[in-house]
Structure 1
Amino acid sequence: MKLYDLEPSGNCYKARLFASLTNIPLELVAVDFLAGMHKQSPVIDLNPWGQVPVLEDGETVLRDSHAILVYLAQKYATPEWYGNSPEEQAEIQQWLSTSANEIQNGPGAARLVDKFGYELNKDATLVVADRILGLLESHLSNNDWLALDRPTIADCAVMPYVGLAWEGGIKLEDYPQIGQWIDRIKALPGFIPMSGLEYF
C-alpha cells in the first residue's frame, strides 16, 4: 500500500499519523512539489486534482486525506477508531467536516500565507481561526478527545493544522486546553512527529 506523500503537508501527515498509531504499514512515496511531481505521472494519473496525499491500495485509489482516514480505519484498524454505529460514525464525521472547512480555511490557510507565501486574505483566515479555535478550546475544556471519549480519526484529522497554527502567526499559548489535547495525542503509543509540531 503506497501513500504519495509530502512531508510538510498536514493532510499527508494525517494519514501517516493514523497508520503509525494503528500499525498499518505504508510505503511512503515522496512527491517533490518544487519539481512539479504532483502534476506528472504517476501522481496526476492517480489524482487528476494534482494534489497529495494519494493512497494506492491495489485497485483502490483515494485522493482525500479524510477519505483515506475513513478507509484505513474501516478496512485495517479496530472499530473504536471510526465507531461501531451510525451515531458514533456521524459524531466523528462532523469533526472531519470541521477539519476540511474551518480548520483548513482558518489556521491551515494562515500557515499557507506565512510559511509558503500563498496569496490569500490573511485577515480573513485569522477571523476563521479565532472562531474555530475558541470553539475547540471550549469543547476540550469538557472533553479529553474530540469524539466518543477516546482517540479516533477525528483527532488525527483536526490536530495537525491546529498544532501547526503557530506557523501562521497564531499564538497557541492562548489555548491551554488545545495544548493539553495535543499533548495527549503525542503520548499515544505509535505517535510520530512532524516538523513544526515539536515547537508546541
Structure 2
Amino acid sequence: MQCLNKKFTPTLYCNTHGVPSRACLLTIRNLGIDVDLKYIDVFKGQQNTPDFVKINPLHQIPVLHIAEDNHILTESRAIMMYLATFMKSSLYPTNDLNKRALVDSKLFFDATTAHPAVKSFINQIIRVGVKKMPSEIRENLKTLLNTLEYFLSNSEWIAGNELTIADFAILASVESIKCWGATFNEYPRLNHWYERCRPLPGFTENHEGARKLAEKMAKLLDEPLWK
C-alpha cells in the first residue's frame, strides 16, 4: 500500500477470538487498509513459540509489524491510534485537541475498565476453570453496561457525535457480552448505538470471532453465560 508518500506494508499478528485483536481489525476494515494477517492460535500456545517471542517477548497479541522500517508496535489501542494517524483519518482527530482528548479518554477507559471486566469474565472460565461465575464478576459487567449507557446519553457515538476508533474498541468488548446472551433491553441508548454499528465494515467479522469464543466458553460452564 502506498500512503502519505510512503510505502506501507503492515502485518498484524492477531486472533479473532481476542477482544484487542478484534478492535484492531475493526479499525483496519474501516480505514480500508490492506494488511497481511497472521493468526496466532493462543489455545495451541503459538504465542509462546521462539519465533513469536522474538516479535513480542510479552507473548501477547495483537502485534503490528511494518516491514519498511522493521517497526514493531504492541498494544491494541496504540496500534489503532497509529494506523488512524498514519492514514490521516477523522476516525482519530488530530486537528482538534479536545476531540482527540475525548477519544483518548474513552480508549483509556476501555483499557482500564471495559476490557478488564470482559477479560476477567473470560479468564474465570478459560484459565481459572470455574463452573459457576462469581457474582461480582457478573456485576462488573452490568456496571460496565450502565456506564456505557451513561456515555451515550449526550452523544451519538462513544466519544462524541462522530464515529471514532473509540467505538471500535468498545464494540469489540460489547460484542463479547452480546454473544454471551445479553439483550441490552435495559440499555436503550447502548442498544441504539449497537444497531448503528451493524453496517460498519468488519462488524460481521467481529461478531463471528466473539461468537466462536462464546461457544467455547459455554461448553465449560455449568450455567448460562448470561443471566
TM range (shorter): 0.7 to 0.9
1:28-55 CA distances to partner (integer Å, 9 max, x unpaired)? 1011223311011332111111011011
**1:176 maps to 2:188:** yes
Match of 1:159 in 2: 171
Instruction: Name which of structure 1's ranges 134-143 and 10-19 shifts more when overlaid on structure 2.
Output: 134-143
Identity among equivalent pairs (%): 23
1:142-173 CA distances to partner (integer Å, 9 max, x unpaired)? 32101131100110111111121145565533
Match of 2:52 in 1: 43
Mark the CA change 1:68 to 1:21 in structure 2 (over 3 Å): closer, same or farther.
same
1:77-96 CA distances to partner (integer Å, 9 max, x unpaired)? 42x11112222211101101
**1:72 maps to 2:79:** no
Match of 1:6 in 2: 15
Q: Is the 8 A contact 1:112 1:168 kept in 2?
A: no
Shift of residue 119 of structure 1? 5.3
Summarize the alignment of residues 12-91 of structure 1 with structure 2, pairs less than 5 Å apart. 12-58=21-67, 59-78=70-89, 80-83=90-93, 84-91=95-102
**1:133 maps to 2:145:** yes
The amino acid that maps onto 1:28 is L
How large is the Cα RMSD of the aligned pairs? 2.4
**1:102 maps to 2:106:** no
Shift of residue 197 of structure 1? 5.9
Q: TM-score, normalised by structure 1?
A: 0.87
Mark the CA change 1:160 to 1:13 in structure 2 (over 3 Å): closer, same or farther.
same
Q: Secondary structure at the match of 1:138?
A: helix
Q: Is the 8 A contact 2:179 2:211 kept in 1?
A: no
Aligned residues: 196
1:60-117 CA distances to partner (integer Å, 9 max, x unpaired)? 2111000000000111242x11112222211101101111111122233223334x35
Q: Is the 8 A contact 1:145 1:155 kept in 2?
A: yes
The amino acid that maps onto 2:17 is P
Q: Secondary structure at the match of 1:24?
A: coil
Which structure 2 residue ranges, 5 or more long, are not aligned?
A: 1-9, 215-227
Instruction: Name which of structure 1's ranges 35-44 and 152-161 shifts more when overlaid on structure 2.
Output: 35-44
The amino acid that maps onto 2:66 is D
Separation (CA, whole Å) in 2 of partners of 1:192 and 1:77: 22
Which structure 1 residue ranges, 5 or more long, are not aligned?
A: none
Shift of residue 127 of structure 1? 2.9
Match of 2:123 in 1: 112
The amino acid that maps onto 1:151 is L
Find the structure with the greater CA-based Rg: 2
Q: Secondary structure at the match of 2:34?
A: coil
Q: Is the 8 A contact 1:185 1:191 kept in 2?
A: no
